[in-house]
Amino acid sequence: MVINAGDSDRALYIVVDGTLQVVRSRGRRGRATEVVKTIHPGTAIGELAFFDGGPRSALVEAVTEVHLLRLSFDAFEVLAAKEPALARHMLLDLGRILADRIRMLQRFETGHVE
- The 10 Å CB-count burial string (b at 16+, else e) for 57-89 is ebbbbeeeebebeebeeeebeeeeeeeeeebee
Each domain of the chain, given as residue ranges in start order, spans 11-110
Could you tell me the fold of the domain covering 11-110?
Jelly Rolls (2.60.120)
Mean pLDDT of 22-45: 80
Are the C-beta atoms of 13 and 45 separated by less than 8 Å?
A: yes
Say yes or no to pLDDT of 113 above 70: no
Say yes or no to pLDDT of 114 above 60: no
User: 110 falls in which pLDDT band (50, 70, 90)?
Assistant: confident
CA distances from 87 to 53, 72, 73, 75, 90 (A): 18, 13, 12, 11, 5
What is the Cα–Cα distance from 111 to 114, expressed in whole angstroms?
9
What is the Cα–Cα distance from 37 to 76, expressed in whole angstroms?
26
User: 58 falls in which pLDDT band (50, 70, 90)?
Assistant: confident
What is the Cα–Cα distance from 73 to 48, expressed in whole angstroms?
12
What is the Cα–Cα distance from 101 to 37, expressed in whole angstroms?
10
DSSP type of residue 42: T
> How high is the pLDDT of residue 32?
62
